[in-house]
Chain A
Amino acid sequence: MKLTFSAADEAFREEIAGWLQRNLCGEFEAIRFRGGPGDEHMFHEQRHAWEQKMAEGGWTCIGWPKSVGGRGCSIEQQVIFHEEYARAGGPGRVGHIGEGLAGPTIIAFGSEAQKQKYLPGIVSGKELWCQGYSEPGAGSDLANVKTKARFDSARQQWVISGQKVWTSLAHEADYCFVIARTDPDSTAHKGLGFFLVKMDQPGVEVRPIQQITGTCEFNEVFFDDAVCAADDMVGAPGDGWKVAMGLLGFERGVSTLGQQMQFQNEFNDILRIAQQNGAAQDPVLRQRIAKAHTELKIMRYNAMRMLSGQAGSDGALQREALIYKLYWATWHRELGELAMDVLGPESQILEGAPYQLSRLQAMYLFVRSDTIYGGTNQIQRNIIAERGLGMPKEPKPTTAGTQ
């Protein structure tokens, strides 16, 4: 067990840090530290240009194998990359859904044709993706998707109808990966398909959702006989759940380290304010600040345990990985509250009218979603208890009350 990196990895650190220093400037100066969660609607054009700049330097999809256009970086190098990126104030990546979710899914489950068709656009930073999972009736109960996919055998294409919700980047994305019911008589996780759907077509309509922050980063997406070529289904009809769950596994990757650096930046802002406005002398706030620091620091080592550990032979998550979402989401939510309490009454004064929030104010509001999306805290606790501790699953509705 050791915490230090090899000399080769430290050289890699210098390489990426140097590249960022030389490139994240000039026209990109304005987007440093911007476009993260709560701020994703900002500077889209510049950030899309930045994504392509990253691609030119070979800094997109660094964890992908070289054979599919990636950089083939080790876990350690990816950790370093994310640390340096966040340290330099690298803007929120517009390509993260393609790089982190769609791409790995296509690499793992997609056909050769799909790899050739979709991966280069992700690597180049040109084509953007969004995720079509949640529906009004399928939140925590994700398997309850109602969106239907009907096969039109004459045209050899799928016809998709239904509604998705909480789709970030939908208005900017070129493609959406959608889970939809291929077997109309099926229920729950059976009878689903996984589709790669082009957004720019008559059957797709995107409507923004105004959030608690007043801004619109998420959308509703309506599919009204949208089409998807037969070749653009990943796996077979009925494989959708398996593919989707495989994808959720990719979500808990090394990017968590980058997320933590962003947390560190937010925490540092709070520290600075506390020192400036005297909150640093308040014994209760001192305790809360120290607690936030403690838990952030441990978050890093927990993530390193996750990355150093190996999943069980059945692909089951290690315990430190099982608790991770519940842990960071709850921590981040408390950080938002701490930020406001350190700011005191000034926390209630906006940067400008009509509703221009400061970075910390936006964070404070936005983090209320952290404990909801990607599995609510309550769902996480069920998962921990059932998979981590072997406690009984929730009873099925049909048997509830009869026992």
Chain B
Amino acid sequence: MEFAFTEEQNMIRDTAESFLREVSTSNAIRAAMESVEGYDPALWQSICQDLYWQAIHTPEAYGGMGLGYVELVAMQEQMGRFLLCSPFFASVGLATNALLVAGTEQQKQTWLPELMAGKTATLAFGGNALAQRGGTWHAAAVEATWQHTADGYVLNGEYRYVLDATTADILILTARQVGSVGAEGVALFVVAAAAEVEVEGIERSALPTMDQTRRQGCITLNSLRVPAEQRLGDPRDARGGQTLQIILDLATIALAAEQMGGAQQLLDMTVAYSKERTQFGRPIAGFQAIKHKAADMMLRVEVARSGVYYAACIAQQALDDLLSGTSCDSLCNTPCDTAALAEAASIAKSYCSEAYFKNAGEAIQIHGGVGFTWEYDVHLYFKRAKASEHYLGNAAWHRERLASLLLDTERLDKADLHQEAAR
């Protein structure tokens, strides 16, 4: 047991920190917010070519760096901290994970090198159903459909809340077999769709978003024809819904890391401001009313951090289990503990969502009037916090999922079983 970063992991974190502090300044963030793409393409290329961050957890066999989820999380934390406007999360957290988890060896060999070369990607999986009951983020929310054709598939349907929908070079599309419900009949497809090239059957449009640091959009499929080899995984495998869940859980953990980084930055900004701001003849940092708020902010950050690092270890374990399967369908043979992964993802996301948003709210309050201005950066974090909270399931959604794991099955944790046996 060693629950601390190794020296190498510290180095990766420190490198990311110093680079992002340099490039993701307030001015840079605002320029990206106003740009067409929503990020600086030159910066993205420099990250991909010079730093190779997009390759961090992809195995070397596919052109990646072969590091782990802890390293990915360490990096994602810094991106959240400096509010980097970037296709990183959609490309790595969503799409790369989708290919790693769902793709056959052949598909990984084909598509991952594209991503490693700096192509951007995203995952589209739900439509309006995602917004039902305040957010519904599982396979049952997949509405787009697929049908067999003579030489492949035809896809129809609408996706909403798709990150980087209009800019992604590669789309991972989730659809269900016509007539299927729930987690049944769900499959993933990969399609090249460079933004500047029109693909027949795909319409993409941007949605104006409250959080301008990460773009969302719609994708509509009108009889999109997809060749058979672009359906991810073994077509005989009926567990596409479960595969999708694993992908979402992995992405959720990366997003939680970003949230934790954001919560940390809000704390740092706020404490620094409270030491400068003078009222009643002394810095407001000296008032207990402020100190106690700041202490609670720090508590939330540190707890979030512990939760994210734990989740990263579980994610690493799950990926190791999945990738060690050598058959075309790694899911068939490997005992990836999906319940442990789901639990870790929900723990991290429910805690980090609230920690980030609460810290953002307190940051505005402690900044006082200037925290309410467009000029100060606090609102950028406040908006990103809410956007991230509602992407991939808010705290209540994840807690309900945990409640279901705890209360609706006979599943008891090991401690409990021991205790039962002893009684």
Identify the A interface with B (CB < 8 A).
Answer: 1-5, 9, 32, 76, 79, 87-89, 261, 264-265, 268, 271, 274-275, 280, 283, 286-287, 289-291, 293-295, 297-298, 301-302, 304-305, 307-309, 319-320, 322-323, 326-327, 378, 380-382, 384-386, 388-392, 394-395, 403
Residue of A nearest to B351 (CB): A294
Could you list 25 examples of A-B contacts with CB < 8 Å? Answer: A1-B70, A2-B2, A32-B422, A88-B422, A261-B415, A275-B407, A286-B399, A287-B400, A290-B350, A294-B350, A301-B3, A301-B307, A301-B309, A301-B310, A302-B302, A304-B1, A305-B4, A307-B3, A384-B299, A388-B295, A390-B271, A390-B275, A391-B285, A392-B286, A403-B280
Residue of A nearest to B416 (CB): A268
Question: Which residues on A sit within 8 Å (CB–CB) of B415?
Answer: 87, 261, 264-265, 268
What CA separation (Å) do A290 and B290 show in the bound complex? 30
Check: B283 CB closer than 8 A to any chain A CB: yes
Distance in angstroms from A230 CB to nearest chain B CB is: 43
CB atoms of B407 and A286 under 8 A apart: yes
Question: Which residues on B sit within 8 Å (CB–CB) of A280?
Answer: 403, 407-408
Check: B199 CB closer than 8 A to any chain A CB: no
What CA separation (Å) do A1 and B309 show in the bound complex? 8
CB atoms of B403 and A286 under 8 A apart: yes
Q: Which 7 A/B pairs are nearest by Cβ-Cβ distance?
A: A385-B291, A290-B399, A381-B295, A286-B403, A302-B306, A384-B295, A392-B286
Question: Which residues on A sit within 8 Å (CB–CB) of B419?
Answer: 87, 89, 265, 268
Check: B206 CB closer than 8 A to any chain A CB: no
262-294 of chain B: CB within 8 A of chain A: 267, 271, 274-275, 280-283, 285-286, 288, 290-292, 294
Q: A-facing mask of B389-420, CB < 8 A → 1, else 0? A: 00000001011111100111000100110110
CB atoms of B302 and A290 under 8 A apart: no
Majority secondary structure, A binding face? helix
CB atoms of A5 and B422 under 8 A apart: no
Check: B27 CB closer than 8 A to any chain A CB: no
CB atoms of B4 and A308 under 8 A apart: yes
Residue of B nearest to A298 (CB): B307
> Max chain A CB contacts within 10 Å: which of B294, B418, B422?
B422
CB atoms of A298 and B347 under 8 A apart: yes
Seed contacts A2-B3, A286-B403, A403-B282; 7 additional CB < 8 Å A-B pairs: A1-B3, A9-B1, A87-B418, A294-B399, A305-B306, A389-B294, A391-B275
Query: With A391-B275, A391-B285, A392-B285 known to touch, is A326 a contact of B295 (CB < 8 Å)?
Result: yes
Majority secondary structure, B binding face? helix
Query: With A308-B1, A309-B4 known to touch, is A291 a contact of B305 (CB < 8 Å)?
Result: no
CB atoms of B402 and A298 under 8 A apart: no
Question: Which residues on A sit within 8 Å (CB–CB) of B406?
Answer: 271, 289-290, 293
Query: With A265-B419, A287-B403, A291-B399 known to touch, is A380 a contact of B5 (CB < 8 Å)?
Result: no
CB atoms of B299 and A327 under 8 A apart: yes
Q: A-facing mask of B345-385, CB < 8 A → 1, else 0? A: 01100110000000000000000000000000000000000
Q: A-facing mask of B303-328, CB < 8 A → 1, else 0? A: 10111011011100000000000000
The one of A268, A297, A382 in contact with B291, judged by C-beta atoms closer than 8 angstroms, is A382
Interface size counted on chain B using CB atoms at 8 A: 58
Check: B224 CB closer than 8 A to any chain A CB: no
The one of B271, B291, B303, B400 in contact with A381, judged by C-beta atoms closer than 8 angstroms, is B291
Question: Which residues on A sit within 8 Å (CB–CB) of B271?
Answer: 389-391
The one of A5, A380, A382 in contact with B1, judged by C-beta atoms closer than 8 angstroms, is A5
Question: Which residues on A sit within 8 Å (CB–CB) of B313?
Answer: 1-3
What CA separation (Å) do A386 and B275 show in the bound complex? 12
CB atoms of B286 and A294 under 8 A apart: no
Question: Which residues on B sit within 8 Å (CB–CB) of A388?
Answer: 295, 298
Question: Which residues on A sit within 8 Å (CB–CB) of B5?
Answer: 1
